[in-house]
Amino acid sequence: MAKILAAMSGGVDSSVAAALLLEQGHEVVGAYMKNWTNEEGLPGDCPWEQDIRDARAVCDFLGMEFRILSLTEQYRDRVVDYLLSGYREGITPNPDVMCNREMKFGIFREFAADQGFDHLATGHYARIENHPDGSVDILRGAIGKDQSYFLALLEQEQIQPALFPIGHLPKPEVRKEAERFGIPVAAKKDSQGICFIGDIRMTDFLAHYIPDQPGAIVNFAGERVGEHRGLHLHTLGQRKGLGVPSNTFGKAYVVIGKRPATNELVVAFDEPATPGLYSTRCRVGSISLTNRPLSGAENLLAQPRYRSEAVAVEAEPVENGGVILTFAKPQRALTPGQICAFYDGERLLGGGVFEEICD
């Protein structure tokens, strides 16, 4: 029997994860990370109070001790500041990946170790593979849903105590398990929006902290076709929300570049042949590896965003510790600041940050 700290979000996934561990005979304590309380009155839904009530109700129902960790200061320092500074610099950061590295498997993991827990459990759809040498690998979620991409920047020390009790289940089966246990949140909808901040549009969140800097939207020929409120509100590959109508042939515009020096947003028609929209080579830096080097992969794959296919790549090391990736097929709108996850088949090798698009 192990002593396990379960991260409780108030949702169905973390609740079923805790229930399964209890059913296996472990000693489980639930804890909610209070990372954001929206004291600044941002628009949107920040349901942290309801989430705490739900997490407490689940723990009471399962007979578990429930704790609340107030980490708002650390969350602002490690996640919100990272998010805002990235957008100010003109790149597109990923707060969900950083939240996992810095909060759940950073501060929260350290708390678990200090309190004498053997493991930290979360409701991620991913799997753990233990090896005879004591090392651990992360594998993709088994069926239908996979969240290993969001764990790409974790290192071995962070993975060692991790448990993903629902990683072998598809989402519908997790719902059925919640009903089997009689968990109070069995029918609760999945959370949306920014990690721990809630259901708020990113543009609304950014508008609260970064003032508008209007400028021209231009096409390849340098012709003005519209006006933007700020380069930080747009990302490469974006089609919606540009405020620029399609042309007479019904072709939609897409963002293909930013020109900070002139504060211009560059758009072109969303077509495979559009220069700058599709790329095969890029530089990825700030590499973080989970357990083994990229060079040892028999089937090296790169996944450039969460909802995209992992594609075969060749990785060439460069002097600064990063790699030049060459994709087997062109990728749409590779974006500086976003996370690239590396796999060997279904095994997560790690990840890095897109720094430059080379073609």
Cα separation, 139 vs 191, whole angstroms: 24
If 0-12 CB within 10 Å is exposed, 13-18 middle and 19+ buried, where does residue 165 land? buried
Q: What is the pLDDT of residue 46?
A: 61
* Model pLDDT for residues 104-150, shown as the tens digit of each residue: 999 999 999 999 999 999 999 999 999 999 999 999 998 889 999 99
For domain 278-357, give the fold. Answer: Elongation Factor Tu (Ef-tu); domain 3 (2.40.30)
pTM (2 d.p.): 0.93
Give the span between the Cα atoms of 340 and 351, in whole angstroms: 5
Q: Are 28 and 6 in contact (CB under 8 A)?
A: yes
Q: What is the pLDDT of residue 189?
A: 86
> How high is the pLDDT of residue 92?
92
* Residue 299, pLDDT score: 94
- CA atoms within a 13 Å half-sphere pointing along the CA-CB vector of 310: 19
What is the rounded distance in angstroms from the CA atom of residue 215 to the CA atom of residue 118?
54
pLDDT at 24: 97
Pick the CATH number of 211-269 from 1.10.150.240, 2.30.30.280, 2.60.120.890, 1.10.260.40: 2.30.30.280
Q: DSSP string covering 247-311, please?
A: -TT-PPEEEEEEETTTTEEEEEE--TT-TTTEEEEEEEEEEEESSS-GGG-SSEEEE-STTS--E
DSSP state of 105: I
Q: How many residues does the chain have?
A: 359
Half-sphere exposure of 296 (CA within 13 A, CB side): 9
Buried b (16+ CB within 10 A) or exposed e, 170-191: ebeebbebbeebebbbbebeeb
User: Which residues are known catalytic residues?
Assistant: 99, 195
pLDDT of residue 244: 87
* Site of tokens 């233990």: 130
- Over its length of 359 residues, how does the chain's per-residue pLDDT go in tens digits? 899 999 999 999 999 999 999 999 999 999 999 987 766 655 556 677 889 999 999 999 999 999 999 999 999 999 999 999 999 998 999 999 999 999 999 999 999 999 999 999 999 999 999 999 999 999 999 888 999 999 999 999 999 999 999 999 999 999 999 999 999 999 888 876 566 566 677 888 888 899 999 999 999 889 999 999 999 999 999 988 898 876 656 688 999 999 999 999 999 988 877 888 999 999 999 999 999 999 888 899 999 999 999 999 999 999 888 999 999 999 999 999 999 999 999 999 999 999 998 87
What is the pLDDT, as a whole number, of residue 191? 73
* Coil, strand or helix at 12: helix
Q: What is the dihedral of CA 220, 221, 225, 228, to 10 degrees?
A: 50
Cα separation of 135 and 347, whole Å?
Answer: 13
Burial environment of residue 222 by CB neighbours within 10 A (0 to 12, 13 to 18, 19 or more)? exposed
Tell me the domain boundaries of the chain.
Answer: 3-123+165-202, 211-269, 278-357
Q: State how far the Cα of 155 lies from the Cα of 240, in Å rounded to an integer.
A: 36
For 3-123+165-202, which CATH superfamily applies?
HUPs (3.40.50.620)
Strands 119-121, 162-163: pairing kind? parallel
